[in-house]
Every structure is written in C-alpha cells, then in structure tokens.
Amino acid sequence: MTVISLLLVIGCSTKNLVSYELNPKLPKLNSVKAIASSTSVGFEWKPLKGLDGINIYRTEANKYVGSATKQLIKIATVSNPFATHFVDSGLKQDSAYTYTFRTIKGGYESANGKIINIKTNPALPAVSFFQGVQKAKTVIKLIWRPHPDKRIKMYKIYKSVNGENWKWVSSIHNRMMAEYIDTYVVSGSKHQYRVIAVGFDDSYSKPSKVVTIIAR
C-alpha cells in the first residue's frame, strides 16, 4: 500500500448516492488502514466525533495508472458516525485502485482525506497434475491434484472442441474432489480441457495447463 499526494478529480456517483457540497472547514479523515484480498479491500479508521459519517471514493480498476490526475467516483456513504469499518467487495484480482475519504456533516463533505493506492492480490496458483485419458468412445476422464489452498471451494471445467472458444461445462463443488468425466465426446474431434479453481471469495486461480485429446 502506498500513500501519495495526487490531484484527484471527483467524478459523478453511479449509485444514486446523495450529493454533498464541499466544506473545506470540515475535518479530513487522514488516518485510515487498508488491507486487500483477491477481490475486496477492507478499511478501518478511528471513531468520528461531531460528524455524520464518511463518503468513500474510488477509481475503476487499473484506470489512470501513472497519471497525476485520477477520476474518482463515490462508491459508498457510511452514514453512522460510530462505524469504523468498510469493505469494498467485488473487485478485480491483481488490480490497482485508488481510494480517498471525505467526512460528512449535514449536506456538506470535507476535502479529500487520506489517499490510498492499493492492489488486490494476484490469482492463486493453478491446479497441478492435470491429466486426461479417453476411457470409452464417448467418454474422457480428467483428473488433477486437489488444490492445496484451503480457501478453494470448487473447480470450474472448461472445454474447447476443434479449436472453438472455451466454454464452461461443469463445476466440481468440493476442493478434494479431483476428477471430471466428460460423456459428450465426439469421435475424430480434438477435445481440449482446462481447470480453474474458485475461492470462497469468488477469486480465481490461474488456468491449469491445457489437456488435449483427439477422440478415437
């Protein structure tokens, strides 16, 4: 996490949040801690005194990287002065975001408070030992080693036939279940498969290696 001083341009809210007028005399929120996961960022600050809450602003993923001007949109209003935490979820993995915070009172908000640059965690390692074998004319069996990360909740199986686009074909809803049997195999066609592990926070692993089988 890096804190920098930048010129920040506040954009229009996209979530029908209440508009506030700027009051530079309101105290700024300059003490905020942040921690990132794969798809979310959590924030913590000290309790507010004499204020109504906080407006939170953020850039879109990886936008304006390396630019001195960053377009921010209001993503949330924390309207309880006793609240000291906020989680921004549904973010992209391995992506950079910039946040700032404005205190609010009545219909007014402060100038930008602390500016935080933070990046979500990268994708988890790919499934290993991924193999496939044709067991019958219309059957291909795939196996892999269970992902060692206990944050994984399931696997998604993707398939491509004769070089066409990848399509999701099934989900395996248990980290320890490490096989899939495809019964929709066409003789003479090239069948390619890959597996992606999915975490409980809906994060994704890197795709596995591709298994290619020319059906007999």
Domains and CATH numbers, the chain: 7-119 (2.60.40.10), 131-214 (2.60.40.10)
Secondary structure class of 181 (helix, strand, coil): strand
User: How far is it, in rounded angstroms, from Cα 41 to Cα 48?
Assistant: 21
CB of 54 within 8 A of CB of 100? Answer: no
Q: What is this structure's pTM?
A: 0.77
Q: Is the dihedral of CA 144, 94, 30, 4 positive or negative?
A: positive
pLDDT tens-digit series, residues 90-136: 999 999 999 999 999 999 999 999 999 999 999 999 999 999 999 99
pLDDT of residue 71: 84
Chain-wide mean pLDDT for the chain? 90
At a CB cut-off of 8 Å and minimum separation 6, what does 1 contact? Answer: 34, 36, 116, 117, 118
At a CB cut-off of 8 Å and minimum separation 6, what does 160 contact? Answer: 166, 167, 191, 192, 193
Lowest mean pLDDT among 10-19, 116-125, 152-161: 10-19
pLDDT tens-digit series, residues 72-101: 899 999 999 999 999 999 999 999 999 999
Region class of 129: left (phi > 0), else alpha (psi between -120 and 50), else beta: left
* φ and ψ of 207, to 5 deg: -65, 145
Nearest by Cα to 205 from 194, 193, 197: 197
Confidence of residue 61 (pLDDT cuts 50, 70, 90): confident
Which residue is it, tokens 């269970």? 146
Nearest by Cα to 95 from 37, 144, 52, 49: 37
User: How far is it, in rounded angstroms, from Cα 8 to Cα 127?
Assistant: 41
pLDDT tens-digit series, residues 62-71: 776 566 566 8
Which residue is it, tokens 């391995």? 94
At a CB cut-off of 8 Å and minimum separation 6, what does 66 contact? Answer: none
Whether residue 10 has pLDDT greater than 70: no
pLDDT of residue 169: 98
Confidence of residue 55 (pLDDT cuts 50, 70, 90): very high
pLDDT of residue 17: 64
